[in-house]
Amino acid sequence: MALEDAKKQIDHAFTREDLKGSSFENVFAGATSFLRRKYTKDLRGVDIAVTGVPFDQAVTNRTGTRLGPRAIREASALQPCDAPYGWGYDVLSDFAIADYGDLAFDYAKVSEFPATLQAHIAGILEAGAATVTLGGDHSITLPILRAYAAKHGPVSVIQFDAHTDTWADDDMSRIDHGTFLYKAVKEGLVDPKRSVQIGIRTDNPDTMGFNIFDARQVHRDGPEAIAEKARAIVGDHPVYLTFDIDALDPAFAPGTGTPVWGGLTSHQAAVMLRQLAGIRLVGGDVVEVSPPFDTTGATAIAAAHVATEILCLWGWTRRG
């Protein structure tokens, strides 16, 4: 059946009639929506909207993450023929997932960007869908958290990252990918005591009360143990998961703006994401993919898998 479908499916992002099911379109052809989901601005009946935020004007080092959403979508074309591995259910068939396209914004009016993004996410949430966002640099997570906190109250955060992103900055008009979580705590969007940071390997003395499992601890204790500790910390609180691709070691994800050695392996990340099943996930993002430095495409491939795992985590407690 798959072979017969592959012979006639093309540009499934536009030609598919429903929001559920696999896609057998040739990997190397056609329009590259995320996982070949239908491109649509109609959110009626949509469970999860995947949206891109091509913004990188807040980085401290190498730019290029504005091209991340496009690269992640292209990389995801490898995946939609089969159910995501190891989950025991098919999130693509059980839930209505749409590609909502990218955020529109005026690149020359950077100061207006956070409010524009917050309104974009809030509109999706008001329509009854959750979001999985493809970045973009990590500053985009702050406006997203504002939209989620407005709906759910202060959320727990599970952050995979090489950096804590809690560097102090009380100037709320500044847009900086290294201070977004400091501001999120100051604004009361996040409960740090019920939140977890995984993979950290840069020094920042002000932890803001977050529970930190640094990269060395993951290597020492193993990904299963770390995931179980993270699950216990967040409990049944609503959780937002943000995955900075630089959580992975540069050997696995070279295409990012601030790479740091000694990071997580792709295997460790995959195990932890799977072992988090059961958390009360309300949304998530994957950020900091910079295609100009991703010569083999490995970083975008990793990010596409992370975004798919976030979909699976969201669906796990809602399946059936």
How many Å apart are CA 19 and CA 11, to the nearest integer? 14
Give 5's pLDDT tier (boundaries 50, 70, 90). Answer: confident
Q: What is the pLDDT of residue 37?
A: 97
- Band of the pLDDT at 1, cuts 50, 70, 90? low
Residue 7's pLDDT is what? 79
Pick out the residues of the known binding site for Mn(2+): 138, 161, 163, 165, 244, 246
186 pLDDT above the threshold of 60: yes
pLDDT of residue 178: 83
Whose structure tokens read 């977890």?
Answer: 196
| pLDDT score of 171 | 85
pLDDT above 90 (res 288): yes
Please count the structural domains in the chain: 1
pLDDT of residue 195: 98
| Non-local CB neighbours of 100 within 8 Å, separated by 6+ positions | 40, 41, 43, 49, 50, 51, 124
**Between 8 and 262, residue with greater pLDDT:** 262
| Rounded CA separation 34/54 (Å) | 14
CB atoms within 10 A of CB 28: 7
Phi, psi for 69 (deg, rounded to 5)? -55, -40
Q: How confident is the model at residue 175 (pLDDT cuts 50, 70, 90)?
A: confident
Mean pLDDT of 174-179: 88
The mean pLDDT value of the chain amounts to 96
Q: What is the CATH number of the domain that holds 129?
A: 3.40.800.10
Binding residues: 138, 161, 163, 165, 244, 246
Task: Name the pLDDT band for 6 (thresholds 50, 70, 90).
Answer: confident
Select the more confidently predicted residue: 173 or 279: 279
Range of the domain at 202: 2-316
* CA pseudo-torsion sign 33, 308, 160, 119: positive
Task: Give 217-274 pLDDT, tens digit per residue.
Answer: 999 999 999 999 999 999 999 999 999 999 999 999 999 999 999 999 999 999 999 9
pLDDT tens digits, 13-32: 999 989 999 999 999 999 99
Could you report the per-residue pLDDT of 94-153, keeping only the tens digit for each? 999 999 999 999 999 999 999 999 999 999 999 999 999 999 999 999 999 999 999 999
What integer pLDDT is reported at residue 3 of this predicted model? Answer: 63
